[in-house]
Amino acid sequence: MNSIKDVARLAGVSIATVSRYLNNPEQVRDKTARKVAQAIADTGYSPNRLAQNFRNGRTKQIMVAVPSIGIPFFELIMRGVRRVAAETGYHILVMETHSHTHDFDDFSRLVMTKQTDGIILLSTLSPFEEPILDTEGGHPPIILGLENLSPELSNFPCVRIDNRLAAREATELLIHLGHRDIAFMYGKQTANSALTQPREQGFRDALDAAGLRFRAEWFIDGKLTIRGGRDATRQLLAAKTRPTALFCANDEMAMGALHELKQAGLSIPRDISVIGFDDMQFSEVADPPLTTVAQPAEEIGERSMKRLLAIIDGNAPAKGADVIPHRLVMRKSAAPPAQKP
């Protein structure tokens, strides 16, 4: 016996009840649900999930747009996304945006024809043309994992840490250690991208609160990459005066800075302290191990996926932010400044 009729007959219920159990089990009383579940087990009945999804208007697919799958931090977030997907029977489609907008042709058709139930944008610009985003109900639910990078995304829900507060606390750590001459390395992916802007604001907040001067020559663009971090550090070392500390708005730039500072013959943290942001996997094995702001990457992935599924089911608001706690990880790249002779 392997049909829905056989299950209904064995459980002593109607075919409609079995169908309701398969599609909306919360609407079936516990006693009846147990009978149906036992009948399914006894008959070996396997429902046609594809047909079910079609009838429910669901594809059981989620699109995740990510700048690059090769960045370890995003891989940790994806691990959390995939864990929830596996638990809930969803499949994940991944698209690399390389931090640019696109014309979208095939991808836009995939989304606008509802072949995906929802979209997670991981620290990336919108992968849609703006008119699509302006169309009420014209796209599946969208959630931002990490920061909002462009104005057209500002109304969508997100899961993130408080980047401004985290950057302020990291800068305050340097100030508490005794640093007064602090540089900041930011990163802009494109002219319209504001990825590190809240971190810059937190940096400025801490300087203002401590009465410290912001110096334009110590405000440098590391382009969010190791190579960019190296180039920016050379620029910093060419300035007339050298800071005693450097706060990098992500760990990749910090890694580039560490390398370039050592190439210049400087000792870290004796000659200059360095702090990063994100706590990527390689940060603790850097030379020296990198002091940084830790983002709970896997938790961000899990909560982004759970929040999106709740929105799809109508159980969560489609606006607002879930703010997750961050933490400062103190390692060996930051210390009090050397005493001047």
Please, what sign has the CA dihedral across residues 30, 31, 35, 36? Answer: negative
Domains defined for the chain, CATH in brackets: 4-47 (1.10.260.40), 58-161+297-323 (3.40.50.2300), 163-296 (3.40.50.2300)
HSE, side-chain direction, 13 A CA sphere, residue 158: 19
- Structure token pair of residue 16: 């409609």
Q: What angle do CA 327, 287, 207 make, to 5 degrees?
A: 45
Residue 255 half-sphere exposure, CB side, CA atoms within 13 Å?
A: 16
What's the CA angle centered on 297, arms 89 and 249, to 5 degrees? 145
Q: What is the pLDDT of residue 135?
A: 42
List CB contacts of 230: < 8 A, sequence separation 6 or more.
256, 257, 259, 260
Find the helix or strand (DSSP H, E) in which 334 lies: none
Q: Is the peptide bond before 288 cis (omega within 30 degrees of 0)?
A: yes
Per-residue pLDDT of the chain (341 residues; tens, 9 = 90+): 467 788 888 889 988 888 777 766 777 888 888 888 888 878 877 665 545 554 556 778 898 988 877 778 888 999 999 999 999 888 898 888 765 555 444 555 555 556 788 889 887 666 555 545 544 555 788 899 987 766 677 788 999 999 999 999 999 999 999 999 999 999 875 444 456 889 999 999 999 999 999 999 999 999 888 999 999 999 999 999 999 999 999 999 999 999 999 999 999 999 999 999 999 989 999 999 999 999 999 999 999 999 999 999 888 887 888 999 999 999 999 999 987 65
* CB of 130 closer than 8 Å to CB of 152: yes
String of DSSP letters for 9-25: HHHTS-HHHHHHHHH-G
Question: Residue 207: its pLDDT value, please?
Answer: 98
The residues with which 330 forms a beta bridge, in sequence order, are none
Per-residue buried b or exposed e for 133-172, using 16+ beta carbons within 10 Å of the residue's own CB = beeeeebbbbbbbbbbbbebbeebbbbbbbbbbbbbbbbb
- E-strand ranges in the chain read 61-66, 91-96, 118-122, 142-145, 158-160, 182-186, 219-221, 245-248, 273-278, 291-294, 321-323, 327-329
Q: How far apart are CA 221 and CA 204, in angstroms?
A: 16
Per-residue model confidence (pLDDT) at position 182: 98
